[in-house]
Amino acid sequence: MQWKFNTISTVILVTGLFFIIAVVYWSGTSDVDYNALSWKAEDLNAQQKHQQVIDLLKPYVEDKKNKSVNFFNELGTAYFNKQDNLNANKYFSIAHQLNKNDPKIIYNLASSIALLENYEEALKLFDLAESKGFDKRLINEWRVWLKEKK
Protein backbone atom coordinates (compact mmCIF):
# COMPACT_ATOMS: atom_id res chain seq x y z
CA MET A 1 0.00 0.00 0.00
CA GLN A 2 2.89 2.34 0.76
CA TRP A 3 4.14 1.98 -2.82
CA LYS A 4 0.73 2.87 -4.30
CA PHE A 5 0.53 6.03 -2.23
CA ASN A 6 3.97 7.17 -3.46
CA THR A 7 3.11 6.48 -7.10
CA ILE A 8 -0.18 8.34 -6.90
CA SER A 9 1.49 11.24 -5.09
CA THR A 10 4.21 11.39 -7.72
CA VAL A 11 1.68 11.38 -10.57
CA ILE A 12 -0.32 14.17 -8.91
CA LEU A 13 2.83 16.18 -8.25
CA VAL A 14 4.13 15.81 -11.82
CA THR A 15 0.72 16.65 -13.29
CA GLY A 16 0.48 19.72 -11.07
CA LEU A 17 3.96 20.89 -12.05
CA PHE A 18 3.19 20.38 -15.73
CA PHE A 19 0.00 22.42 -15.34
CA ILE A 20 1.84 25.27 -13.58
CA ILE A 21 4.58 25.34 -16.22
CA ALA A 22 1.98 25.33 -19.00
CA VAL A 23 0.01 28.21 -17.45
CA VAL A 24 3.15 30.29 -16.94
CA TYR A 25 4.38 29.60 -20.48
CA TRP A 26 1.11 30.29 -22.28
CA SER A 27 0.24 33.32 -20.21
CA GLY A 28 3.45 34.96 -21.45
CA THR A 29 2.67 34.47 -25.12
CA SER A 30 0.12 36.14 -27.32
CA ASP A 31 -1.98 34.93 -30.20
CA VAL A 32 -1.45 38.29 -31.91
CA ASP A 33 1.60 38.84 -34.10
CA TYR A 34 2.29 42.50 -33.37
CA ASN A 35 5.19 42.69 -35.79
CA ALA A 36 3.00 41.44 -38.63
CA LEU A 37 0.41 44.07 -37.70
CA SER A 38 3.11 46.74 -37.75
CA TRP A 39 4.25 45.67 -41.24
CA LYS A 40 0.69 45.98 -42.51
CA ALA A 41 0.43 49.36 -40.80
CA GLU A 42 3.69 50.47 -42.41
CA ASP A 43 2.25 49.65 -45.84
CA LEU A 44 -0.97 51.52 -45.04
CA ASN A 45 0.95 54.55 -43.76
CA ALA A 46 2.96 54.58 -47.00
CA GLN A 47 -0.35 54.69 -48.89
CA GLN A 48 -1.51 57.63 -46.72
CA LYS A 49 -4.24 55.45 -45.17
CA HIS A 50 -3.62 56.70 -41.66
CA GLN A 51 -7.11 56.15 -40.28
CA GLN A 52 -6.94 52.53 -41.39
CA VAL A 53 -3.68 52.18 -39.44
CA ILE A 54 -5.34 53.59 -36.34
CA ASP A 55 -8.35 51.29 -36.78
CA LEU A 56 -6.04 48.30 -37.26
CA LEU A 57 -3.72 48.91 -34.30
CA LYS A 58 -5.79 50.75 -31.70
CA PRO A 59 -7.58 47.62 -30.38
CA TYR A 60 -4.20 46.18 -29.29
CA VAL A 61 -2.52 49.14 -27.58
CA GLU A 62 -3.48 48.11 -24.06
CA ASP A 63 -2.14 44.55 -24.37
CA LYS A 64 0.77 44.33 -21.92
CA LYS A 65 2.26 41.52 -24.02
CA ASN A 66 2.70 43.92 -26.92
CA LYS A 67 6.40 44.85 -26.95
CA SER A 68 6.62 45.65 -30.66
CA VAL A 69 8.52 48.89 -31.14
CA ASN A 70 7.40 49.12 -34.76
CA PHE A 71 3.75 48.69 -33.76
CA PHE A 72 3.83 51.80 -31.57
CA ASN A 73 6.01 53.73 -34.02
CA GLU A 74 3.57 53.08 -36.88
CA LEU A 75 0.61 54.06 -34.72
CA GLY A 76 2.44 57.25 -33.75
CA THR A 77 3.19 57.90 -37.42
CA ALA A 78 -0.47 57.55 -38.35
CA TYR A 79 -1.51 60.04 -35.67
CA PHE A 80 1.35 62.39 -36.61
CA ASN A 81 0.23 62.41 -40.24
CA LYS A 82 -3.33 63.16 -39.12
CA GLN A 83 -1.89 66.09 -37.12
CA ASP A 84 -2.97 64.56 -33.81
CA ASN A 85 0.24 65.45 -32.04
CA LEU A 86 -0.83 64.40 -28.53
CA ASN A 87 -1.55 60.84 -29.63
CA ALA A 88 1.50 60.79 -31.90
CA ASN A 89 3.65 61.78 -28.94
CA LYS A 90 2.00 59.17 -26.73
CA TYR A 91 2.80 56.29 -29.08
CA PHE A 92 6.24 57.54 -30.10
CA SER A 93 7.02 57.75 -26.37
CA ILE A 94 6.00 54.12 -25.87
CA ALA A 95 8.14 53.06 -28.83
CA HIS A 96 11.04 55.05 -27.38
CA GLN A 97 10.61 53.39 -23.97
CA LEU A 98 10.83 50.00 -25.69
CA ASN A 99 13.94 50.97 -27.68
CA LYS A 100 15.86 54.05 -26.57
CA ASN A 101 18.57 53.63 -29.22
CA ASP A 102 16.63 53.65 -32.49
CA PRO A 103 17.43 56.96 -34.24
CA LYS A 104 14.21 56.89 -36.29
CA ILE A 105 12.08 56.59 -33.16
CA ILE A 106 14.07 59.32 -31.42
CA TYR A 107 13.58 61.55 -34.47
CA ASN A 108 9.83 60.82 -34.56
CA LEU A 109 9.50 61.54 -30.86
CA ALA A 110 11.47 64.78 -31.23
CA SER A 111 9.20 65.83 -34.12
CA SER A 112 6.05 65.31 -32.09
CA ILE A 113 7.56 67.13 -29.10
CA ALA A 114 8.52 70.06 -31.35
CA LEU A 115 4.94 70.36 -32.57
CA LEU A 116 3.77 70.33 -28.96
CA GLU A 117 5.99 73.40 -28.51
CA ASN A 118 8.52 71.83 -26.15
CA TYR A 119 11.35 73.22 -28.24
CA GLU A 120 14.29 72.63 -25.88
CA GLU A 121 13.42 68.96 -25.35
CA ALA A 122 12.90 68.53 -29.09
CA LEU A 123 16.36 69.97 -29.82
CA LYS A 124 17.96 67.60 -27.31
CA LEU A 125 16.27 64.64 -28.94
CA PHE A 126 17.17 65.80 -32.45
CA ASP A 127 20.80 66.00 -31.30
CA LEU A 128 20.54 62.50 -29.90
CA ALA A 129 18.99 61.16 -33.12
CA GLU A 130 21.79 62.76 -35.11
CA SER A 131 24.45 61.26 -32.81
CA LYS A 132 22.91 57.85 -33.48
CA GLY A 133 23.15 58.32 -37.25
CA PHE A 134 19.81 59.80 -38.30
CA ASP A 135 19.73 61.89 -41.50
CA LYS A 136 21.32 65.24 -40.63
CA ARG A 137 19.51 67.00 -43.48
CA LEU A 138 16.08 66.19 -42.00
CA ILE A 139 17.20 67.20 -38.53
CA ASN A 140 18.57 70.50 -39.82
CA GLU A 141 15.19 71.29 -41.39
CA TRP A 142 13.64 70.94 -37.94
CA ARG A 143 16.40 73.06 -36.38
CA VAL A 144 15.62 75.88 -38.80
CA TRP A 145 11.92 75.57 -38.02
CA LEU A 146 12.60 75.54 -34.28
CA LYS A 147 14.78 78.69 -34.50
CA GLU A 148 11.87 80.48 -36.15
CA LYS A 149 9.58 79.42 -33.30
CA LYS A 150 11.82 80.53 -30.45
Tens-place pLDDT, residues 107-127: 999 999 999 999 999 999 999
In this predicted structure, what is the pLDDT of residue 5? 52
Which region among 19-23, 36-40, 87-91, 128-132 has the lowest average model confidence (pLDDT)? 19-23
| Residues spanned by the domain of 24 | 1-30
Q: Compute, in degrees rounded to 10, the torsion defined by CA atoms 75, 79, 85, 89.
A: 0
* Averaged confidence pLDDT in the chain: 88
Q: Over 70: is that where the pLDDT of 6 sits?
A: no
Same domain, 8 and 65: no
Rg (CA), the chain: 23
**What does the pLDDT average to over 70-98?**
98
Quote the CA–CA distance of 32 and 120 in Å, as a whole number: 38
Same domain, 38 and 25: no
Q: For residues 1-37, b (16+ Cβ closer than 10 Å) or e, as one string?
A: eeeeeeeeeeeeeeeeeeeeeeeeeeeeeeeeebeeb
Same domain, 20 and 91: no
> pTM of the predicted model, to two decimals?
0.79
Q: Over 50: is that where the pLDDT of 27 sits?
A: no
Same domain, 55 and 90: yes
The residue type of 29 is T
Q: Over 60: is that where the pLDDT of 58 sits?
A: yes
